[in-house]
Amino acid sequence: MIVAERKPLSEIRGFVEDYHRLLIVGCGTCATVCLAGGEAEVKVVASGLRISFLRDGKEVEILESCVTRQCEPEFVEPLKEKVLDEAVEAVVSLGCGVGVNFLAQTLETVPVFPGVNTKFFGAAVEPGVWVEMCAGCGNCILHLTGGICPIARCSKSILNGPCGGSRDGKCEIDPEIECGWALIVERMKRLGTLDKLEEILPPRDWSTSRHGGPRKVTHQEVAAVGPQQGEGEP
């Protein structure tokens, strides 16, 4: 999932200092799961801002909302109506950076500010702890590395084996970080596939990553049918 972390309240307030009618919007999926931007966090941020403005004698009305996903038209379009009907001057999104982008694209004349810092694609390794496990490079090579991503989990994103600087399975950059390649080697030993690392591979084609500009995925069957009933235009 996409993992995010809430921005400090003082930073969020700095974004909206000059507005008098705000909407704080949460996201019911990833941001909720990682405790950064769900319904509970919307209430916390809204309450914090109200108290902060009240202390300074500023009258600011703060509305609250939380949609299922901030990255799909069917959930964002009703929010657009709310913004217009309620004469909202600015929106603070507690969704990931995708949500901020999508809301900004939808709310053409209303500024949208990020309320969280989008961190990475990760998994919950224990309650309240998430670790990056995917870099979204667009050309998955996990079949070659035992299901462990060297791009995301090696601090140097090395693709041709360990750098030689790790010690006791820990990265030389930070002894608290597991060496990605140590994890790969141990995993492939258990699978009996360690010999695959001896294969010579051509240089990686990075054109599927960010080097070619914003990426796009089109599902031909869905695109041919067009928007479903009740959905907005893409």
Domain total for the chain? Answer: 2
Q: In this predicted structure, what is the pLDDT of residue 225?
A: 63
More confident residue, 147 or 219: 147
Work out the average pLDDT over 149-175. Answer: 93
Check whether residue 57 and residue 109 sit in a common domain. Answer: yes
Same domain (yes/no): 172, 100: no
Q: Do 18 and 60 reside in the same domain of the chain? A: yes
The verdict on residue 211 lying in a domain is no
Which pLDDT score is estimated for 4? 95
What is the model's pTM? 0.82
Helix, strand or coil for residue 170? strand
| pLDDT tens, position by position, 60-84 | 999 999 999 999 999 999 999 999 9
Q: Domain of 107?
A: 2-119
Cα dihedral sign, 71-75-76-77? positive
| Helix residue ranges, H only, the chain | 9-16, 30-33, 39-55, 73-85, 97-106, 150-153, 180-191, 220-225
139 and 111 in a common domain: no
Q: Residue 99's domain is classified under what CATH number?
A: 3.40.50.2300
Q: Tell me: do 58 and 148 sit in the same domain.
A: no
Asked, for residue 25, whether it belongs to a domain, the answer is: yes
Helices 97-106 and 73-85, axial angle in degrees (round to 10): 60
Asked if pLDDT for residue 46 goes beyond 60, the answer is yes
Quick one: average pLDDT of 9-30? 96
Last residue of a domain, one of 53, 88, 119: 119
Q: Could you tell me if 10 and 97 lie in one domain?
A: yes
71 inside domain = yes
**Is residue 128 a part of any domain in this protein?**
no
Does 151 map to a domain? yes
What percent of the chain lies above the pLDDT cut of 70? 94
